[in-house]
Structure formats: C-alpha cells, structure tokens
Structure 1
Amino acid sequence: MSGRELWADGRLRVAWASRDWPTLIRRYRALAGISQQRFGELVGMDQGYVSRLERGRARVTSEDVVARFVEGLKVPTELGGVQKMRAVTWDPPAELRDRVAHARTTGRMDVRTADWIGRVLVEHRRAEDEVGGRALWPVVLSQLDTVTEMIPHSSGSVADRLMLLAAEHAHWLSWVAWQDQRLGSALAWIDLAHGWAVDGGHADMASWAQRVRAHYSLQQGDPVRALRTAEAARYVGSRPLSPAAEAVAVHQAAMAAAALSERDRARRLAEEARELALRAPEAADRPGWLYWLDPLRAQLQVADTAYACRAWSDAACGFRSALPLLQGYARDHAYYRARLEDAERRI
C-alpha cells in the first residue's frame, strides 16, 4: 500500500488534524507494516526520537518537524489547511459560498484530486461509527475547502462534478452538526448542499438534501412540514430520480404520515419505498451516500414504519428477522434492538 493510499484511513486523518503524534505514528506504522526505524527514515528522525514521540514522551513543537512529516509521509494536499479549520465555527464559512458563486469560468483542472477526495469521503462515512463525526469535522471541512478552491478553475461537466462533491461534503457536515445539536448550523449546511446539487444538475443529491430536511422537521416535532418536504423530495426537476433516491424520500414521507396518524397511507408508502429500494440491490446501483440502502435496510425501514404506526407485532417481526444480519454496524444495531425490545413489550 502506497503512502497516499494509507491516508484514506479515517483514524489517521483525525490524528493528523489533532496533531496527536503518538496515535499518528502508531496508526501509520500499523497500516504500512513498518518499524520505528523505517518510520524514522521516512521523516528524517532517529529511531529513539520516534519511540519517544510514539510513547508521548516527546513533543513536536517545530514546524520544521511537521514539514518533515508532510513530505516523508506524503500527507495529501487537502489536509494542508486542516489546522486552520480547527478554529472555525460550525456555520458555513462565507468564502466557500463565494468560491462556488464563481463556478463556470473557463479553465482546466486536474480531476485526480477530486477523485481522491471523493474516495476518502466514502471512507469517512463508513468510519463515522468508530471515529466519530465530531473528530472528523475539521478533516471534512478542510476537504471541502480544497473542493471549493477548484470550482472557479473548472467548467462544464467538471464543474458539475465538483458541485456534487461539495454538496456531499455539506450534507455530511450538516448531519454531524445535527447530531451535535447545532440545529441552525445543520440547516445552513443542508441548504448549501441542496443549492449546490441543484446548480450542478444532480437530482438525486437535491432530493436527498430535501429528505434530510424532512427528517429534521420530523425530529423537531413538525410532521406536517416533514411530510410536505418529503413529498417534494420526489420531484426536484425534470430528471427522474434513481430508484434508491426515490426510495428514501418515500420512506421519509411514510414516517411523517405515521406521525400524523395516517396509518394506511404510511403503510402503503413504506411498501412502495421497499419496492423501489429492491430495484437497486447492489451498491453500484445507488448514489454513493446511499451505500447502506441494501435489501436488509429496506426491510428494516418497513419495520420502522410499522413501529411508527404502532403495529407492534409487525414491527417486532421485521426487526427480529433482520437484526442478526446487521452485525458490524454497532450504532444501527443498537437503535433497532431498542425498537425491537420496546415493540415486544407492547404486544
């Protein structure tokens, strides 16, 4: 595995962002399968100093030493500004929007950096359960900073592609802000995600951003607004949605309908959502941010709607059959396990 390939690892990127040198050295060495001696050769240090750093008995106080890490460990370009991102607020910085406002200028750009950043964002989504969104926040924000810097130097399909990548980052940041109870910031980021998706002509992402907004409204106790927004998420432009993108919008509408006690409507929508999801059973058939919507998750969503409709037996049956297959997703497993236990108590 090359030096750059190692940097797709979420834990390694978090260690760099926080300047946690002991974790950084241990993680890098474990991923690369190298000794302290070899690590020292990469960064121009003797093995004894590397050992002291790894044990936390020495500190890095010189930017010259940091520069050695950057060069020797092939730290990706988009992490170069990660330190300044640690001090920003949770709200979207104005310069990000200013850069996107200048899209569509003529120019050429090497898209390999965009491809790389898109790849590591996928890794961050999957690592969030273990690493934590808050820890990854400055890393993802720094990546977004790099993406928006590229947009004014792009045009045509490349600019559209970068707009989608920017929207994916903004959605991720919105979700983490929401989990941290920063509601205003979460809404600001999801609105940016929606706007950038529309500007770039990406119907699936525009729909997903509206679906997330509907989820926020439902969690805030406003099912009327949630249903209205979820229904609108099915119709976001002239292009048809992919089956997976439409499925999550329909499921969100089902959950809002259940909260309004429209149970027949909710069950009908839940079944429609399941059928749509089953039309995209493979990850390659779904947008990247819906990597998780496999047939198992489609079944769990039907059970979740039954739970919201207070159909306890149906909910318990659905959760019970699916839970054994949900290993490896600790947070989701705990969520559905709690729902199963509650449904069983109410039967």
Structure 2
Amino acid sequence: MSSRELWADGRLRAAWAARDWPTLIRRYRALAGISQSRFGELVGMDQGYVSRLERGRARVTSETVVARIVEGLQVPNELGGVRRTPDPEWAPSSELRERIAHAHSSGRTDLRTADWIREVLVGHRRAEDEVGGQDLWPIVRSQLDAVTQLIPHASGETADQLMLLAAEHAHWLSWVAWQSQRRGPALAWIDLAHGWAVDGGHVDMSSWAQRVRAYYSLAHGDPVRALRTAESARYAGPRPLSPAAEAVAVHQAAMAAAACAERDRARRLADEAHELAVQVPDAHERPGWLYWLSPVRARLQHADAAYACHQWADAAAGFKEALPALAGYPRDHAYYRARLEDAERRA
C-alpha cells in the first residue's frame, strides 16, 4: 500500500489530528505491514522508543520529532498544520466565506489536491461511525480550507466542481456539529452547503442540504416545517434529481408527514421513496454522499416509516430482515435494534 493510500484511512488521520501516538503507530504499522524497527527507521527513532510510544509510556513533545514524523511518514500537506484543540471553532469563519465569494474568477488551478481531498472525504464518511466526528473535525475543516483556497484561481466547470466539494465538506461539518449539540453552527454549515451547491449548479447536493435541514427540524420537534422543507427538497433546481437524491428527500417527507399525523400520505411517500431507492443498487450510480443508500438501507428506511406510522408488525419485519447487514455500523445497528425491539413489543 502506498503512502497516499495509507493516509486515506480515516482512523489514521484522526489519530494524527489528536496527536494520539499509540493509535497512530499501531494503525500505521498495521496498514503498512511493517515492524516497530522499520517504523523507527522511517522516522529516525530506535525500536525501543517506538515501543514505548506505542504502549503510551513515552510522549512526543518536540516539534523537531514531529517534523521527522511528518517527513518519514509522508504526512499529506493538508494535515501538516492540524492541531487538536479542546473546543474546536464550530462556526464558519468570515475568511472562509470571503474565499468562496471569489469563485468563478479567471485563472487555472491544479486539481490534484482537490482530487486527493475528495478521495479521503469518502473515507471520512465511512470512518465517522467508528472513530467519532469530533476526532475527524479538524481534519475535515483543514481539508475545506485547502479546497476553498483553490477556488479564487478557478473558473467555469472547475470552479463548479470545487464548489460541490466545498459543499460536501460543509454538509459533513454540519452533521458533526449537530451530533455534538451545536445546533446554531450546524444550521450555518448546512446553509453554506446549500448555497454553494446552488452556486455551482449541483441540484442533487442542494436537495440533500434541504433534506438535512428538514431532518433537523423534525428532530427539533417541528414536523410542519420539516414537511415543508422536505417537499421543497424534491424540487431543488431546474433539472430533475437523480433517483437516489429524490428517494432520500421523499423519505424525509414521509417521516415528517407521519409526525404530522398524515399517515396515509406518509405510507404513500414511503412506498415511493423505496421504489426510487432500489432503482440504484450500485454505489457508483449514486452521489458520493449517498454511498450508504443500498437496498438494505432502503429497506430499513421503509421500515422506519412504517414504525413512524405505527405499523408495528410491518416495521418489525423490515428491521429484522435488514438488521444483520449493519454489523459493521455500531451506531446505526443500535438505533435500528432499539426500533425493532420496541416494534415487537407493540405489535
């Protein structure tokens, strides 16, 4: 595995951000398939010191040593300045907004950095369920800075693609902020994601951002607003949505309708959402941020809508059928397992 492939690993990047040297060394050695001695050769340390670091019996405090680690392990440039802080800066900065304001100016830019960042963001989406979003926050925030610094030098389709990548990062940051009970910053980030997607002409992402806002409204106890927002997500732009993007918007509308006690409408929407979702079983046919919308997930969403409509037997059957496929997603598995047990009690 090349150094580039190694550093696409979400857990390795999170360990770097946290300066968690035991986890970083173990993870790097496991991915690279190397011994402590070989690791020491890469970073200019003897095997005994590497062993003490890996067991947590020694610490790295010298910036000179950190620099050797950066060079020896070929830490990507966008991680070089990342520092873990006890309380991250949750809200978007004015400097970030200023960079985005210069999109579509004339110029040329090298997209290799953007392609690399897009690749590792995919890994962060999958790793977030395992390592926790707050551990990855400084990494993704640093990546967003790298993307937005490219935008003033881009134009045309290149600028549009960078706007989409920026919107994807803003969405991720919004979700982690929401999970961390930072509702104000979460809304600020998702609004940025929506605006950047609209500016770049990306209807699927603009729809997804509205769908996420609908989810926030429903979770915060405002189903009427959630239903209104989810319905608007279905008609987010001048072009039709992809089936996957439309599926998640319609499902969110179904959940909001059920919360508004419009159960017949909710069931119709849930059926429609499921039919749309199963049209795209292959991940490469879906937008990157909807990588998770497999037929199994579509079945779980359909069961969740049945649960919201108090169709306990249908909900339990759907959860039981699909739940085994979530073994690698502990947070989601726990959520749907609790739903299954409750539905079985009520059936």
Give the TM bin, normalised by the shorter chain.
over 0.9
Structure 2 residues without counterparts, runs of 5 or longer: none
Aligned amino acid, residue 39 of structure 1 = F
Q: In the alignment, what sits opposite 2:95?
A: 95
Match of 1:182 in 2: 182
Structure 2 CA distance for partners of 1:86 and 1:150, relative to 1, 3 Å: farther
**Kept after mapping to 1: 8 A contact 2:263/2:309:** yes
Equivalents in 2 of 1:97, 1:106: separation in Å?
A: 19
What SS does structure 2 have at the residue aligned with 1:83?
Answer: coil
Alignment of 1:246-285 (within 5 A): 246-285=246-285
The 2-side partners of 1:144 and 1:137 are apart by: 11
User: Which residue matches 1:211?
Assistant: 211
1:110 is paired with a residue whose SS is: coil
The residue that corresponds to 1:76 in the other structure is 76
Alignment of 1:25 with 2:14, yes or no, is no
Q: Match of 1:290?
A: 290
Q: Match for residue 227 of structure 1? A: 227
Are 2:78 and 1:112 aligned? no
Give the length in aligned residue pairs: 347
String of CA shifts for 1:124-170, please: whole Å, max 9, x gaps. Answer: 11111210111111111111111111111111111111111111111
**What is the alpha-carbon distance in structure 2 between the residues aligned to residue 6 and residue 226 of structure 1?**
41
1:53-68 superposed matches below 5 A = 53-68=53-68
CA change 1:168–1:85 in 2 (3 A) is farther
Contact 1:258 1:309 in 2 (8 A): yes
Alpha-carbon distance between aligned partners in 2 of 1:33 and 1:90, rounded to the nearest angstrom: 37
Q: Secondary structure at the match of 2:261?
A: coil
In 1, Cα distance between the equivalents of 2:263 and 2:122?
36
Residue in 2 that maps onto 1:346? 346
Counterpart CA distance in 2 for 1:327 and 1:25 is 27
Deviation readout 1:315-334 (Å, 9 max, x if unpaired): 11221222233332222221
CA distance in 1 between partners of 2:120 and 2:319 (Å): 32
**Deviation of residue 61 (structure 1)?**
2.1
- Bigger mean CA offset, 11-20 vs 168-177: 11-20
In the TM superposition, 1:129-140 aligns within 5 A as: 129-140=129-140
Distance 1:149 1:36, change over 3 A: same
| Shift in Å, 1:85 | 7.0
Unaligned 5+ runs, structure 1: none
Which stretch has the larger CA shift, 315-324 or 332-341?
315-324
**Does the 8 Å CA contact 2:106/2:153 hold for their aligned counterparts?**
yes
SS, match of residue 34 in structure 1 = coil
Q: Which amino acid aligns with 1:168?
A: E
**Cα drift, residue 22 of structure 1:** 2.1
**How far 1:88 moved relative to its partner?**
4.1
Residues 313, 72 of structure 1: CA spacing in aligned structure 2 closer, same or farther, 3 A cutoff? Answer: same
C-alpha deviation, 1:51, in angstroms? 2.5
The residue aligned with 2:332 is: 332
In 2, distance between residues paired with 1:148 and 1:109?
12
- Counterparts in 2 of 1:192-203, with a 5 A limit? 192-203=192-203
User: In the TM superposition, what is the alpha-carbon distance from 1:95 to its structure 2 partner?
Assistant: 1.2
Q: Assess if the C-alpha contact under 8 Å between 1:85 and 1:141 holds in 2.
A: no
How high is the TM-score relative to the length of structure 1?
A: 0.97
Shift of 1:259: 0.6
Please give the alpha-carbon distance, in whole angstroms, between the structure 2 residues aligned to 1:158 and 1:311: 48
Closer, same or farther: CA 304–64 of 1 in aligned 2, 3 Å = same
Opposite residue 103 of structure 2, the aligned amino acid is A
Percent of residue pairs bearing the same amino acid type = 78
Write out per-residue CA displacement over residues 110-132 of structure 1, whole angstroms, 9 at most, x where no aligned residue.
Answer: 21111111111111111112101
Match of residue 165 from structure 2: 165
8 A contact 1:21–1:54 mirrored in 2:
yes
Following superposition, the deviation at residue 87 of structure 1 comes to 5.8
Cα RMSD, aligned residues only: 1.4
Structure 1: how far apart are the matches of 2:84 and 2:21? 18
Q: Does the CA contact (< 8 Å) of 2:18 and 2:84 recur in 1?
A: no
